[in-house]
A and B are shown apart, each in its own frame.
Chain A
């Protein structure tokens, strides 16, 4: 390994973090991904008619939203945000500390949800919340410096606001289980979900799309004006939708969904245009999932609008939630399968002078193919199982999802193994 070459990583003006930092977040996400499917299988019976409250379904949702989405978002944003703001994070120990806290908190929270242990939920929520606050503090410090990609930074700011909001409501929801803070806990939970999915995760997904898609497709960064318009309209839609959800005003919630749909279509229009103008012709298999995610985004909003207008029947909420989580999970896993080997190859180029491994050499494609088929099949079967209230179909879907998650873990481990083997043999 090149001596001294890694010494400059992690300094204040250095935009490249040591590989172990983002990768530990991705590793944890991979494990939580498998755990979410296992827990969902255990809660299959409760899923079709789930209307809130503790138990395996809530645990599975949070294993996914915290353990997979937020965990990956933290790891990715800590490495990608410096690309937009042109300023690194000079706090590797703090980042490692955040990782430990967040893992512990998410695990305890999920256990508490599964077994209806309110104290565990409170403890886990506090730890995870503390990790999130520390992460927010890091993020704010970086965002304050602005940067060349104004739209990305703006998305970051609003995502931070959303994260604060969902953290507050989430902790209050835990407390309300014992002390009844909210008059209608279910409406509060829906609001929490909307802010988490469309607010925090959605805005991060939109913002980082403006960096990642151009990078992988080698195309122009979409026009900042339209990206900001999408952001502004989306934020308005989210606020209207939240207002409607919180106060039980269904028409208002539906209008929020429609405004959000407009924002989504602008965003997707920018993405489609970017791909049309791309320099790189072959995009690779990850873009199959990215395009699928782009289809699931408006579908989730339509499902939300339909649910608000009571067009989806008794299971409308579950169907909407599934579409929402499907969009985010599909997008996230597509992005991860590109940035994991890409980051590893960048670090290999620092550590190895002799022909460092290429991205292809670090990518185990077969497990990714297995994952893609299992992922699509599991989502489809979940939808069918929910609509027809068939526990067995949901269990099968969860098991297929687990196989897919296992395949994804195999891909991740292969990337790490291949990277380490290349470094050791150099």
Chain B
């Protein structure tokens, strides 16, 4: 990688100040995305500002209605947290499927959201749960946060501090893994709160998005039957040598149906996701 300077600020304020002082500096959290990027020489930041240990970014706590996870929470922490398991178990399930055990020991919620990889898992949860992203400057609603491929509403030097997830009365996540990278070729997060249903899809498009037609149908009738003959338009879906746009659209449809089936008490459900293919 290109030469750079590593700094480890003691506080969040110090970190923000460093980023403001050095416009070519980048924040470094777990590094699971940034380090490989630097190794490929795809970026040349002047400084790497290590925020991984900052106290202000740690912590998982819950109130009656909200689960709050610090931006510095590692995926492994979220996956094994009793607080998350008791409030939004779909998040434990999601976190436990990100990448692999070693990556989960380093990668963080904040890092994942700041990067907004179109095939990352967390964006689907944040969008479907209608979470609020709290930064060093403001609070951003999920619907406003994801702007485009690898693009978010964050301003230069703005750091995610924590994410507040409304505690849905039921939620679920189902993902189909790319056979090589392990990223989501399609990942579907469904959250039900009161009468509201939100369906967020990652991996299939240029960024996470809500499937509004599916939401409308499921609001009326939360069942697999409600989704009959509903197809996701493949225009705008990602295509590459591994999978055509219409295959990705199909995966998103299938996962949505299967997740609804799993979340419907008493009905026939799909099996949990398995490696190298996705739902059995």
A and B: partners?
no
List the interface of chain A (C-beta within 8 A of B). none
List the interface of chain B (C-beta within 8 A of A). none
